[in-house]
A and B are shown apart, each in its own frame.
Chain A
Amino acid sequence: MTVANMYKEKGSNPYRPWPARITSIIDLTENERLFELRIIDESVREGFQFESGPFVELSIFGVGEAPISISSAPSKQGFIELCVRNAGDVTGALHGKKCGDIVGVRGPFGRGFPFQEMKGHDVLLVAGGLGIAPLKSLINHIHDDRHDFGNVSILYGARDPSEILFRYQFDMWKHRDDFDLILTVDEADETWGDEVGRVTALFDMIDIDPDNTYGAICGPPVMYRFVIDEMRKKEMDVDKIYMSFERRMKCGIGKCGHCGVGHQYACIDGPVFNYWEAMNLQEAI
């Protein structure tokens, strides 16, 4: 039984976190770490199915909960990866944990990217900073079924080289033909051999087949408008440009009301919306 059905058919308490053991911690940057978790209950672990883009509520009893995107691909069986920036109470407490410690997760919640619909097309992924976290899941997912996709381009920008996440993996990918990967930073240093400048400047470097390309965007809120402008200049369709929204969330299941965006809730109606939907959501971008 999938976790979704445990909630919907069996009536499992959706506020009750599943205990999960931290099985690996990788320092990505000074403030960001990649946590690999293994849900302890076997039936929950096996039923934990999702498409790229959903999130979990990370739950640390005594501190609270925070929504965190699932960074690993759905195909990664038995483990989930969370790429977490130390930004406050819950994420700070997580950063204080060691391998073998137990935390809680609720979910997976939310609507992800339309993976099946994207198949057979080109995909252009644009990430800014920590926005790479949910896109990483999609990238790995595409990688699993690479022959089902056309050209896949990734544009990824960060403030400076020390803030580029997953650099080791990207360095590896750069030498393969699977993805066209372009990295950029606002401020370079002597280690940097890639681009310098805003992620939007990279659009001049790529060719897009507008009728055949899906877009996927995630980054800081200010970034969306500029990236969408570039995609529209390239004549990509409004309903093929997808983006993930970050809002305050307490429940993740459409009850607490905190994540309202326009007339919808980011937690259950999103967090991934296409641009047409986003245009119809007041104050979305």
Chain B
Amino acid sequence: MFFRVMDTSRLPDLVRGLSRDHEVIGPVAKEERFVFAAIDDPADLRLDYDTTLLPPKKLFFPPEDQMMRFRVADNEVLDDEVFAAPRVLLGLHPCDINALLLMDNIFLKDYVDPYYKARRDTTLVVGISCVPTEDCFCNSLGTDEAHWGFDIFLTDLGDRYFVSVRSVKGAELLDDFVETREITDADTAAFQRVTRERKDKFTQDVDTSQLPLLLDAKFDSPVWDELGERCLSCGACSMVCPTCYCFNVRDDLAPDQKTGTRTRLWDSCQFSEFAAVAHGQNFRESRASRVKYRYYHKQWGYLSKFERVLCVGCGRCSTACAADITPREVIAALAKGGVE
């Protein structure tokens, strides 16, 4: 990796430059919170955001994603192309960059998902350093820093950005659109200091050691029943999660009933019919079993295949849960054997 330094005042140059050939998407304010949206005016960009309501997965795996158009009579696909224009996703935090890498394992391996891939291939990622909020626990999961998964990463040093350049494309864009200079020892020292100070700001320490073992050893723990009683099965935790990828599929017919579309929609393992099959059988009928499954899959199912847990500690599910069910509490309760 190589590094450059860029004055923070140059940011609008970069945004305008990127806008020439790309749609630029970044965090903007929406009421009290932030969302990822198209940036028309560089002044709208809020790189000081804490976190967004929905994670960037919505840009690669939209909540409603049309997969194909079909003709009924001969069961033929009319069109399954994805239109993916060149984009730059500007201002991703390390957790969200790492979350996309976890999603890649699902959508880009074995059976490659053409819809996700098309959007991933045409999107550049520019990361930005962050300040931990009270719900963040990425530091406990090793996802507080991004080493891969971006073209450029900006670490905010106050008056200037320490710019890490990961890809050829990133280097070219930087070269083309914005004035940067070589790093000095003082820049590197400032970078180290900022990184250290950020580490000290984390307030959470979630102990996930032995979690896969505990999930099995305490599979019948009453903790799950207690959590099941509180959970509302609303699925909000899945929707806001940058690493939840489950989906449902729906066919819609055009008014003439001759053609139609097949669409996939975000789904959640917390919904009661998620594991229901024919003849009235439901493999996870109780709320307790569904709350447990979400943790079981994230902390062990995914790990058993990809050697990483399916959580980046972004804290969105904690914020979204009306029943105050948080990974920190669930994991601690399981280790202890009871909810506080």
Contacts and interface: CB of A to CB of B under 8 A. Distances in A.
B110 interface: yes
B274 A258 contact: yes
B277 A247 contact: yes
Q: Is the interface of B mostly helix, strand, loop or mixed?
A: mixed
Interface string B282-315: 0110000100010011001100100000000000
A130 B70 CA distance: 31
A262 B292 CA distance: 11
A256 B75 contact: no
Contacts of B111: 7-8, 14, 253-255
B74 interface: yes
Contacts of A261: 283
Contacts of B296: 262-263, 282
13 contacts: A14-B112, A16-B68, A17-B77, A61-B75, A61-B260, A62-B70, A85-B278, A87-B278, A103-B75, A248-B274, A257-B269, A258-B246, A282-B219
A7 B114 CA distance: 11
Q: Is the interface of A mostly helix, strand, loop or mixed?
A: loop
Contacts of A19: 74-76
Contact of B245 (A253, A257, A264): A257
Contacts of B297: 257, 260, 263
A63 B275 contact: no
B267 A257 contact: yes
A102 B74 contact: yes
Given A247-B275, A247-B277, A11 B112 contact: yes
A-B pairs, 4 with minimum CB distance: A257-B246, A253-B111, A61-B70, A263-B301
B278 A88 contact: yes
B3 interface: no
Interface in B64-95: 67-68, 70-72, 74-77, 80
A13 B117 CA distance: 11
Contacts of A61: 70-72, 75, 251, 260, 262
Given A258-B267, A268-B110, 6 more contacts: A13-B80, A87-B278, A103-B75, A255-B247, A256-B246, A257-B267
Interface string A236-270: 00000000001110110111111011111000100
Contacts of A65: 249
B277 A246 contact: yes
Nearest to B279: A87
Interface of A: 7-8, 11, 13-17, 19, 59-65, 85, 87-88, 102-104, 220-221, 246-248, 250-251, 253-258, 260-264, 268, 282-283
B75 A104 contact: yes
Contacts of A221: 281
Interface string B305-338: 0000000000000000000000000000000000
A10 B293 CA distance: 35
B248 interface: yes
Give the most central of A7, A11, A16, A263: most B CB within 10 Å: A263
Contacts of B257: 62
Interface in B252-267: 253, 257, 260, 262, 264, 267
Contacts of A263: 296-297, 300-301, 304
A61 B110 CA distance: 25
Given A15-B67, A257-B267, A64 B114 contact: no
A250 B245 CA distance: 13
B277 A63 contact: no
Contact of A250 (B74, B80, B247): B247
B304 A16 contact: no
A28 B80 CA distance: 37
Contacts of A251: 247, 249
B179 interface: no
B277 A11 contact: no
Contacts of B68: 15-16
